[in-house]
Amino acid sequence: MPDTNLMPIAGLDNPVTTPRDVTPREDGRIDLVGLPQARICEILEEAGLDTKQAKLRSKQIFHWLYHRGATEFADMTDISKTMRPWMEEHFILGRPNIIEAQHSTDGTRKWLLQTDDGHDFEMVFIPDADRGTLCVSSQVGCTLNCTFCATGTMRLVRNLTPGEIVGQVMLARDALGEWPKGKMDISDEADAAEYRADGRLLTNIVMMGMGEPLYNFDNVRDALKLVMDGHGLALSKRRITLSTSGVVPMMARCGEEIGVNLAVSLHAVNKEVRDEIVPINRKYGLEELLQACADYPGASNARRITFEYVMLKDKNDSDADAHELVRLIKQYDLPAKVNLIPFNPWPGSAYECSTPERIKSFSNIVFEAGISAPVRTPRGRDIDAACGQLKTAAEKKSRAERDREAAAADAE
């Protein structure tokens, strides 16, 4: 079992909660990234501002922080010059630390990041012709032990905070140069209109990095609220997908309280194989999982549930498996699409990827039943861009080597 001492897991039935929203820092300052406007307001009051001032300043800070991407109070031109040093003294606008930044020949970018208390996690950006998808992590490691997943071999260190989750999206916008320009005046509507989605590189977010997002429900929800807030990062919930390995008791709340698209890591169509490769299946079986999908709030033909299916040679890839997948989707009348993911091997993994012919045959069977079943092109293979792989590779590097690379990343 993973060692979860640093942050006890409240039983696998419950998501892991993190009661403190403000992580104490050694220098005594408070990191405002990850906090909603109402909380920033409270904190400003606690630090000494009167209610009216705190309200106004929290609105301004919220806008600069999440909508404009400010990393320093000095940039907040509509906050008086005399107040900015006071803010600098009490608060920071943090970002995750970059340990390593890699750029694949196919355009995929991958970052190995680190929390302030020294835990590594990762984030991947995958550009396509018509979209750019950021793959965001929710935990350092994972309590679940899916046998094909490199993250599953790591112990869970801790949940990421809302700031560390939304911080990934903010860091990606920094790196891609995608914060809106303009006159920076929030009272000016014409200026606000400069914030357009068209032409942007980062258009979609998937919660498919390290960790099980539904075991860190509160923090993921709070972070995604900031991402979806029109006054915040302003990304539509239709462009956000949360992937779960099947934490059935949290799925309805995910639909109700977050409202994003759902992806389910199905990977097998019978109990025997799914119990083995996605062990949470022993707790929440296929019938329960598919029923929760059928009940998922907001799912419709226009907003389908994605079933992820990793293609493992001689394990889950037969024609019979494909037919069974179709039968299950029809039995539960699911508005579904299937993503076939070629297995990306990692050092020590016990599986091989199915042959291209096998994947094609599987895909054809699902397609012929009227269900979309594209085969995902492996991306960023030259930089180990699959879940959990960069971190595993980086753990083998020396400290000096990492420091050198971090310095180079800063200079980029």
As annotated, the active-site residues are: 122, 387
Question: Could you give the maximum distance between any two Cα atoms of the chain, in Å?
Answer: 71
If one asks whether residue 146 binds ligand SF4 (CB under 6 A), the answer comes out as: yes
Nearer to ligand SAH, 57 or 239 (CB): 239
Q: Taking CB within 5 to 8 Å according to partner kind, which of ligand SF4, ligand SAH, none is near residue 361?
A: none
- Measured CA to CA, the distance from residue 61 to residue 65 in angstroms comes to 6
Which among ligand SAH, ligand SF4, none contacts residue 136 (Cβ within 5 to 8 A by kind)?
A: none
223 touches ligand SF4 by CB under 6 A: no
Residue number, 203 or 389, with CB nearest to ligand SF4? 389
Question: What is the closest distance, in whole angstroms, from the C-beta atom of residue 312 to ligand SF4 in the complex?
Answer: 13
Partner whose binding site includes residue 104, from ligand SAH, ligand SF4, none (CB under 5 to 8 Å by kind): none
Of residues 265, 281, 316, 392, which one binds ligand SAH by CB under 6 A?
265
Interface with ligand SF4: number of residues (CB under 6 A): 12
Q: Which does 306 bind (CB under 5 to 8 A by kind): ligand SF4, ligand SAH, none?
A: none
Report 261-300 residues binding ligand SF4 (CB under 6 A). 265
* Chain centroid to CA 221: 11
**17-34 residues labelled b (16+ CB within 10 A) or e (exposed):** ebeebebeeeeeebbbbb
Q: Which does 343 bind (CB under 5 to 8 A by kind): ligand SF4, ligand SAH, none?
A: ligand SAH
Query: Which segment (146-154, 157-165, 182-190, 296-304) binds ligand SAH by CB under 6 A?
Result: 146-154
Q: How far is the CB of 46 from ligand SAH (least distance, A)?
A: 36
Binding ligand SAH (rule: CB under 6 A), the pick from 227, 341, 365, 394 is 341
Q: List CB contacts of 323: < 8 A, sequence separation 6 or more.
A: 365
If the CB atoms of residues 121 and 362 are measured against ligand SF4, the closer one turns out to be 121
Q: Which stretch binds ligand SAH (CB under 6 A): 105-113, 119-127, 239-247, 356-364?
A: 239-247
Q: What angle do CA 206, 212, 217 make, to 5 degrees?
A: 90
Burial class of 159 by CB neighbour count within 10 A (0 to 12, 13 to 18, 19+)? buried
d(CA 59, CA 269): 49
Smallest distance from the beta carbon of 1 to ligand SAH, in angstroms? 17
Contact flag: residue 159 with ligand SAH (CB under 6 A): no
Give CA 234 to chain center in angstroms: 16
Chain contacts with ligand SF4 (rule: CB under 6 A)? 142, 144-146, 149, 151-152, 211-212, 245, 265, 387
